[in-house]
């Protein structure tokens, strides 16, 4: 199973991708997570990406495509994958088409998770995630049992520096202008599965399972 996950920041892609990965035994490839790992390790790629990420702007396509190209060489992806946060522009979608062609692969589904902007801002400003295992929390909708600490491994939770209201508003604009139009790239191939991303996590997950059948 090969899936592209489209949806604005805060729509719940990471939360839902983790559930899909468990049930379908496929890998999650999140370009945001990969970039943050590079940033934390202080790699050349991380240094290049930092200024874009802090302002909520897209990292240049060439940087993203070479990073994803490297990931595609890894055997772990051979059982299938869910691309979370990639592609985000037309050149990235073209680059993905090329990578798929080289590996004689095709996509099975493009999930589009839809949530109104007002709800996205509420979700993102209250998002926290585990610094070790990456588990995603929300101070309002899905708080940890103990303040600031991961339920699973006791590690401290982090508040992403781009999850402030000001940056979120820019990220939503960037999604509308540059990423949402990708629906038109995948529509002619019959791959688009629109999912209502409002309601509780399990309810949304059931909608996704129905769409993947």
Q: Annotated catalytic sites, by residue?
A: 13, 88, 127, 160, 171
Q: How far is the CB of 39 from ligand ADP (least distance, A)?
A: 9
131 to 170, contacts with ligand ADP by CB under 6 A? 136-138, 141-142, 162
Radius of gyration over every alpha carbon of the chain, rounded to an integer in angstroms: 17
Q: Are strands 127-130 and 81-84 parallel, antiparallel or unpaired?
A: unpaired
Among 35, 150, 172, 182, binds ligand ADP (CB under 6 A): 35
User: E strand or H helix at 66, and its extent?
Assistant: helix 61-72
Q: Does 193 bind ligand ADP (CB under 6 A)?
A: no
Among 26, 5, 22, 3, which residue's Cα sits nearest to residue 14? 5
Q: Which of the ranges 5-13, 72-80, 97-105, 183-191 carries the binding residues for ligand ADP, by CB under 6 A? A: 5-13
Burial of 142 (0-12, 13-18, 19+ CB in 10 A): middle
Write the CA distances from 100 to 2, 61, 93, 147, 179, integer angstroms. 10, 17, 10, 43, 20
82 to 121, contacts with ligand ADP by CB under 6 A? 85-86, 88, 92
Among 3, 6, 20, 59, binds ligand ADP (CB under 6 A): 59
Shortest Cβ contact with ligand ADP: which residue?
Answer: 32
Q: How far is the CB of 184 from ligand ADP (least distance, A)?
A: 18
In three-state secondary structure terms, 132 is: coil
Question: Are the beta carbons of 61 and 92 closer than 8 angstroms?
Answer: yes
Q: Residue 49 has which token pair?
A: 């990406």
Q: How far is the CB of 106 from ligand ADP (least distance, A)?
A: 20
Q: Are strands 27-30 and 136-138 parallel, antiparallel or unpaired?
A: unpaired
Among 109, 135, 171, 193, binds ligand ADP (CB under 6 A): 171
Among 12, 110, 111, 130, binds ligand ADP (CB under 6 A): 12
Which residues of this chain interact with ligand ADP, rule CB under 6 A? 7, 9-15, 31-32, 35, 52-53, 56-59, 64, 85-86, 88, 92, 123-124, 126-127, 136-138, 141-142, 162, 171, 200-201, 204
């Amino acid at each position: 199973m090969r899936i592209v996950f489209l949806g604005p920041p805060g729509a719940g892609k990471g939360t839902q991708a983790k559930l899909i990965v468990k049930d379908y035994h496929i890998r999650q490839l999140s370009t945001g997570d990969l970039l943050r790992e590079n940033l934390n390790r202080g790699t050349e790629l991380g240094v290049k990406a930092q200024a874009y990420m802090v302002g909520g702007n897209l990292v240049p396509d060439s940087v993203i495509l070479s990073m994803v190209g490297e990931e595609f060489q890894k055997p772990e992806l051979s059982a299938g994958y869910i691309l979370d946060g990639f592609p985000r522009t037309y050149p990235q979608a073209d680059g993905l088409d090329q990578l798929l062609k080289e590996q004689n692969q095709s996509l099975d589904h493009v999930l589009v998770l839809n949530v109104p902007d007002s709800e996205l801002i509420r979700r993102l400003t209250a998002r926290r995630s585990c610094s070790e295992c990456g588990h995603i929390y929300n101070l309002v909708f899905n708080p940890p049992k103990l303040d600031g600490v991961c339920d699973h491994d006791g590690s401290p939770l982090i508040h992403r520096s781009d999850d402030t209201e000001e940056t979120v508003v820019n990220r939503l604009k960037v999604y509308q202008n540059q990423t949402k139009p990708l629906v038109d790239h995948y529509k002619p191939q019959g791959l688009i599965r629109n999912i209502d991303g409002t309601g509780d996590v399990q309810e949304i997950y059931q909608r996704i399972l129905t769409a993947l059948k």
